[in-house]
Amino acid sequence: MNIRFRKKRYTLLIIPEQGRSMLRFRLPLSLVAAVVALAVLLIAALCAMYEMHLRNLELLEALENQLTMKESEMELTILHKNERIQQLQNDILSLSEQANQIRSKVEELQQLERELRELTGTGNDGENRQQVEIASFAATLPSGGTLSLVPDDQFHYFVTYTESRMTDLDQSMASLQSSLAEAKAELVKRQEILRVTPNIWPTDSRKISSEYGYRRDPFTRRLSMHTGLDIAGNHGSPVYATADGKVITAGYDSGEGNHIVIDHTRGVRTVYMHLSKFAVKEGDTVKKGDVIGYIGSTGRSTGPHLHYEVLVWGLRVNPADYLPDW
């Protein structure tokens, strides 16, 4: 007996718009199954692709977030570095300004030292002494070795320490400058006093023929007070002003002969008697060592000599106390 199986078929009807004939398609089961399977596979593939797309989007978003965070960190790092650079620039500028100030004060100290040497008449032996404090400061700074980068925290400490040392040095130099200025003022004052102090010999001769004090008068032979020094010399030898001053008298007297009186201020006057002639006149200003006249024997005199007196506030004192090498 033959058994015949009828293949299952599906009929696909397509109903068009009114007025058209209906389309009919007979599809075998295997084809329908294949179409359905293909559709299922296609949908599954699309779902897998969509899921993969979502994962890729999530991964891309995560990468973008990481990149954004890295960029933010880089911006913060750059900002911090820029701030450090600005701070270092400010520190360097501050040190440069302090160095310029110290350099200016060193130049002022050098000028003061030169002025003091000129006033005292000393040489250049002490010319390098003004760098003592600077050398002391420089000795505290690191030197030698291999060049290497200094960490930020150590550099900040170094800058702070250097500023502190430079501030100390600046204060020391200011104190030294003040001391030098006071010394200069005192020296100028002393030199002014020396200029008006009769402390040089009035003649080239050093031969004392009669000292200050009591003696027998060469004319009366009576004991009398001799109020000056008699310095013997050759007729016409120069007589010098023993200090700066102004000639207040240049005239003749029967006892003093041709004589000159010089006022040196501060209550000090000097008198020069028995001159042969004058080299100055009343009212002239003279400097220490200027020639004011010449040795003679005018007036009450026994021979060529200079009678020299020193008066302090009107009191005749011993001129020998003012003369060097006496």
pLDDT digits (tens, 9 = 90+) for 145-187: 444 455 666 666 666 777 777 777 777 777 777 777 777 778 7
pLDDT at 319 over 90: yes
Instruction: Record the pTM.
Output: 0.53
In a domain, 27, yes or no: yes
In a domain, 188, yes or no: no
- Would you state the pLDDT for residue 153? 61
For 34, 51, 96, 180, the CA distances from 39, given in Å and listed in that order, are 8, 18, 83, 108
In a domain, 132, yes or no: no
Q: How buried is 23 (Cβ within 10 angstroms: 0-12 exposed, 13-18 middle, 19+ buried)?
A: exposed
In a domain, 177, yes or no: no
Instruction: Report d(CA 167, CA 98) in Å as an integer.
Output: 8
What count of other Cβ atoms lies within 10 Å of the Cβ of residue 151?
A: 9
pLDDT at 38 over 80: yes
Q: Which residue has the higher pLDDT, 45 or 144?
A: 45
In a domain, 102, yes or no: no
Instruction: Report d(CA 292, CA 278) in Å as an integer.
Output: 6
Domain of residue 51 covers 9-81
Q: Which residue, among 139, 126, 125, 130, has the nearest Cα to 172 in the 3D structure? A: 130
Q: How much is the average pLDDT of 63-81?
A: 86
Last residue of a domain, one of 59, 81, 103: 81
Instruction: Report d(CA 302, CA 84) in Å as an integer.
Output: 95
CA angle 194, 236, 296 (to 5 degrees): 85
In a domain, 4, yes or no: no
CATH of residue 246's domain is: 2.70.70.10
Q: Which residue, among 287, 241, 233, has the nearest Cα to 261 in the 3D structure? A: 241
Last residue of a domain, one of 29, 51, 81: 81
Dihedral angle, C-alpha 78, 83, 85, 86, nearest 10 ° = 140
Residues 6+ apart with CB under 8 A from 79: none
Position 282 confidence tier, pLDDT thresholds 50, 70, 90 = very high
In a domain, 232, yes or no: yes
Looking only at the bridges linking them, the beta strands covering 207-210 and 291-295 are: unpaired
Place of tokens 């250049």: 124
Q: How much is the average pLDDT of 90-114?
A: 74
**DSSP 8-state code for residue 13:** E
Q: How much is the average pLDDT of 23-48?
A: 81
Last residue of a domain, one of 41, 61, 81: 81
In a domain, 296, yes or no: yes
- Our count of domains for the chain comes to 2
- Would you state the pLDDT for residue 168? 73
- Would you state the pLDDT for residue 252? 96
- Would you state the pLDDT for residue 127? 46
